[in-house]
Chains A and B, each alone.
Chain A
């Protein structure tokens, strides 16, 4: 069984967003790039499952759509423990474009895992789109995934609870928090080994994006916080009731 993890290259979550080019783009200079947090959790869980599978899971591959600049992030995926990497050589245009590209390579895998969203465009779309391109089932909001023998059970979050879903390969798991405790951090040995692991570059397919991000804005600055004295809590209640009118 082979697992494919879709890794998105995103700005570090603490990045202060600045705009560039007359607000037509987000400034990339000075940004620290990381593996999208949910994708990192997916990768960690895939490696845990592989290690516990007694050889049934033969490989964990990472795939990213992007130019050569995304390779450091992909190498980090290899350092964490992925066996090999595929970079689809194209600038991501939108989720549809990215999913269509990944679908070309994902056909050869039994389980595809993606994070529930990317922390940049927050569209929660690539995993679901990919499953439709591949015409396979997908389970979304997955917070647990267990494989015993050939039996695969995933837990998905629903409103106010969760469901355990039994699913056969091939399928796409769209994962969120809970799928594993903590993302793995690359060890020195992993970092050394990652340099020698294969990172294959494949050409992009001809795909037309369906959406276009035409311009950006920064949110309006918030008015200053109104401070209430700690000795006068009832003043807060009165403000919430009479001024903000939320009580």
Chain B
């Protein structure tokens, strides 16, 4: 028996998300009286693979094959299913990100294993296997029971945190049988050197209250100052003031940073659905009745354009202390 975790890598490196998944798996494995086995697919160096041991992985299975160079859900699901069977996995864990969303459903059908997508806690019970997840984009929570023998869970990002539990993880190279890839990647476009919205601990978002695309300079400046990422509300991306990839909200990205700033965003229910998992929300809006203040922890009634530069100065001053 084991808890198997698929740990995605980004150009051969793991990130906080990977360690959070292992931490979550480790807590589950302790409660089940078993151990965590991580599965890495692609070209990752042993020293990086072993780093998963810091959060409780007892073993890391590494599968590397030229056919797996691009993250295609069909062959990846095949590899994960094969390793899950080999390791007698009781639970298979993935992240609830682009990759996890693409792979977990395929894996579910392949293994005839029920999947809970976007779990926010460890199971409240193991028999029946019951996990809590958000539904209706955070407007409610559901307790979901998985009835199949093997259970698949994807973890909502930033919902568990990091818990160290140092183990000397054994690395095992495994030769999986890999299906042929039926799709061909023609072009990859990646932004490098920028904090990704989904990974950011601090997110600075601007809305229509900023009046125009030319006024987002201070949003970017504040993001840079705090090592965070920039974001926007739906109207802002619809009007092409900012790229669609920055839209946070029900139909855009769902984020859960430690600190979220909403400048000139009224906080329509669809917007709140995308940001309500943030640990601390700060809102600046001219309208004292804006719904964003119901979701916020700290608020200022005022013009975002005026407050932003003052806030930047105040943070600089605080940092200089």
Tell yes or no: B112 within 8 A of A by CB: yes
Given A225-B283, A228-B298, A246-B280, A122–B135 Cβ distance below 8 Å?
A: yes
- Closest residue of chain A to B139, judged by CB? A17
Per DSSP, are chain B's interface residues mostly helix, strand or loop, or mixed? mixed
* Cross-chain contact A213 with B190 (CB below 8 angstroms): no
Per DSSP, are chain A's interface residues mostly helix, strand or loop, or mixed? mixed
- Closest residue of chain B to A124, judged by CB? B101
* Cross-chain contact B106 with A138 (CB below 8 angstroms): yes
Alpha-carbon distance A131/B106, docked complex (angstroms): 7
* Cross-chain contact B104 with A125 (CB below 8 angstroms): yes
Given A95-B105, A236-B282, A241-B318, A217–B300 Cβ distance below 8 Å?
A: no
- Closest residue of chain A to B72, judged by CB? A137
Cβ-Cβ contact count across A and B, 8 Å cutoff: 270
Task: Please tell me which stretch of B30-38, B56-64, B158-166, B242-250 contacts chain A, meaning at least 4 of its Cβ atoms lie within 8 angstroms of it.
Answer: B242-250
* Cross-chain contact A216 with B141 (CB below 8 angstroms): yes
Residues of A with C-beta under 8 A to B133: 122
Among B71, B116, B300, B317, residue most surrounded by chain A Cβ atoms (within 10 Å): B300
Cross-interface CB contact of B190 among A161, A234, A246, cutoff 8 Å: A161
Task: Please tell me which stretch of B169-177, B211-219, B289-297 contacts chain A, meaning at least 4 of its Cβ atoms lie within 8 angstroms of it.
Answer: B289-297
7 contacts between A and B (CB under 8 A): A119-B250, A123-B118, A124-B96, A182-B238, A210-B147, A214-B145, A233-B307
State the A residues within 8 Å of B (CB). 11, 13-17, 19, 26, 37-38, 94-96, 99, 116-117, 119-129, 131-133, 136-141, 143, 153, 156-168, 171, 174, 177-178, 182, 209-219, 222-223, 225-230, 233-234, 236-241, 244, 246-247
Besides A38-B251, A236-B298, A246-B202, 13 more A-B contacts (Cβ < 8 Å) are A17-B139, A117-B101, A120-B135, A128-B105, A158-B188, A165-B185, A177-B251, A210-B148, A214-B144, A219-B141, A225-B294, A226-B297, A228-B299
